[in-house]
Amino acid sequence: MKIRIKFAKRGVLKFVGHLDIMRYFQKLIRRSSIDISYSEGFNPHQKMSFAQPLGVGMLSEGEYVDIEVNTTYSSKEAIKRLNDANVPGIEILSYKLLDDNAGNAMASVAAADYEIIFRDGYKPEGFNFYEKFTEFFNNSPEVNVIKETKKSVSRLNIKPYIYNYSGTSDTLKIRLSTGSAVNIKPELVMDAFYRYMELPLPDFTFIYTRLEVYGNDSCNNLIPLMDFGKDIL
């Protein structure tokens, strides 16, 4: 059976990298007595697949990991067992059964929501975050950035990959293309935003929180990854 787990990553655990989170979940699954399946061969490992890795220093309320199990508890019991064995800063939010033909979390990612707020003391005086970003977005025919990968450096217009945004004078919420096709980080957007305003962007200006991760359903609509599964009663 395929299970999709949603979890939050809070507080000082934002400084823990993706590989360490993977290793932590392997231990958490064992401590929780979840009957996870293992691969065959000389070096068996837990059948586990994470969605889009979270950057170091970023908080999240919407991280996902898929596992395969031989037998399972109800969603309510599994969440309790996992959280009872958890450390402060990680909270299991949902535990859902996937269809056998469902794609894994990593392959399913298409977009993500982020919340961006100013760190104390970094907001310019009289600055309205939402109004200024709207001005930037409407007045920029293109939003060009330099995107670096392990293999290349390229120039990319990211405006088509900013799907929507909302906010207040202090907060911006933004939905960005995410995943293997086109992966846009909120830091890239803020860098372009500050360049438009001709303002320097000091390190640690913003606190970033990933709120949700989405995949495309059969009608090509974006839905939260947890909605591909169903609760186990």
* Residue found under tokens 């392959």: 107
Q: What pLDDT sits at residue 154?
A: 82
d(CA 110, CA 121): 34
Q: 152 is written with which tokens? A: 């290349």
pLDDT values of the chain reduced to their tens digit, one per residue, 233 residues: 999 999 999 999 999 999 999 999 999 999 999 999 999 888 889 999 999 889 999 999 999 999 999 999 999 999 999 999 999 999 999 999 999 888 888 888 999 999 999 999 999 889 999 999 999 999 999 999 887 777 778 888 999 999 999 999 999 999 999 987 889 999 999 999 999 999 999 999 999 999 999 999 888 899 999 999 999 99
Q: Which of 133, 192, 203 lies closest to 168 in space, CA to CA? A: 133
Residue 64 CA to residue 76 CA, distance in Å, equals 17
**Three-class DSSP category at 200:** coil
Tokens of 201: 């962007």
Q: Of the candidates 33, 120, 32, 35, which has an alpha carbon nearest to the alpha carbon of residue 72?
A: 35
pLDDT, residue 180, reads 79
- With H, G, I as helix, E, B as strand and everything else as coil, classify residue 168: coil
pLDDT at 181: 80
Q: How far is Cα 26 from Cα 48, in angstroms, rounded to an integer? A: 8
Q: What is the full DSSP assignment across 109-145?
A: EEEEEEEEEEPTT-SPTT--HHHHHHHHHHH-S--EE
Token pair belonging to 74 = 């109800």
pLDDT of 231: 96
